[in-house]
A and B are shown apart, each in its own frame.
Chain A
């Protein structure tokens, strides 16, 4: 079974440019999450999709970040315009849908996209 895949693995862009990260979850997983780790900090939650709907986007840092999940399959995370502080590793994770509050879901993470904004 294919795991969570992310594209690109690395991206180097200049400040002010736009970058789009893609995540392909495990087939059949309705939950899709984005996280990121900026330099020297802990991994932080960005947002959570259930199918194509945004369940929780409380971690999105500002309106330069736009996440979409068309048709409830793959997801994209666009940063426009990119700033220096956006550099870091962006992780995507997916999981099967559990009943809310059951607390047993297992998230499967992709390898991450390493973004460097110069």
Chain B
């Protein structure tokens, strides 16, 4: 299975944009890139996914590199409620979570 690499933790100020990177250099041509997050004391929740083109939804944007070996989850205006562990995932029939990136939001 292709693997993903994410920074262990990141910090951002409230109401500023946050760019969460993910490297997936061994991604196959048919792998979608998914992002999930886990807020404290909750189950993981879906954020966004994409294949080749950049994607936007009400929660976030996903920027995918042209060679697809990396992607960036963009939270346009972080709030305290966005403090969570963010997971970049390639396979979703049997999710392999990894350690993810713990995002801290500073008020």
Contacts and interface: CB of A to CB of B under 8 A. Distances in A.
Bin chain A's interface residue count. 20 to 34
Contacts of A48: 93-94
A105 B44 contact: no
Given A91-B43, A110-B43, A105 B95 contact: no
Bin chain B's interface residue count. 20 to 34
A104 B32 contact: yes
A27 to B, nearest CB: 18
A108 interface: yes
B7 interface: no
Interface string A58-78: 110000000000000000000
B97 A108 contact: no
Nearest to B28: A103
A106 B30 contact: no
B43 A104 contact: no
Interface of A: 4, 31, 33, 35, 42-45, 48, 56, 58-59, 91, 93, 95, 100-101, 103-112
